[in-house]
Amino acid sequence: DGCVHLKNGAIDKVATVKKEPIDPTGAGDAFAAGFVYGFLDYMSQNKDTCGITSHALKTSMLWGCASGCCCVGIDGASRPPEKKMIEQVLTGVQTVNEAESVKPPSEER
């Protein structure tokens, strides 16, 4: 379904593209690797940024979701998805998030 983060009491959610899983093995590791890659790539392109911004987190989450989504589409975890494949899925993940304008869940009690 995607991922969420909480910063200063605000919830931010990133949805992912829907994909029929072939094998979920390694999806969490792929998410983590994509998240770290997205963060480091963002920070290297925004050297004047001080600290972890919401935009840096959102970029990292998008890369993590795209990487995890690619991973579940491959049989077995021994062959990670290629960057080109992740970038193609990333475009889809960004489109899903722009179209849905994902908002925090309402607090119904």
Look up the pTM and report it: 0.79
Residues 6 or more apart whose CB falls under 8 angstroms from that of 87 comprise: 66
What pLDDT was estimated at residue 109?
35
Q: pLDDT digit string (tens) for 7-50?
A: 788 888 888 888 888 888 888 999 999 999 999 999 988 888 77
| Residue whose structure tokens are 């987190």 | 57
The angle at the Cα of 36, spanning 67 to 95, to the nearest 5 degrees, equals: 45
Half-sphere exposure of 68 (CA within 13 A, CB side): 23
Q: pLDDT digit string (tens) for 47-85?
A: 887 778 888 888 999 999 999 998 888 887 777 778 888
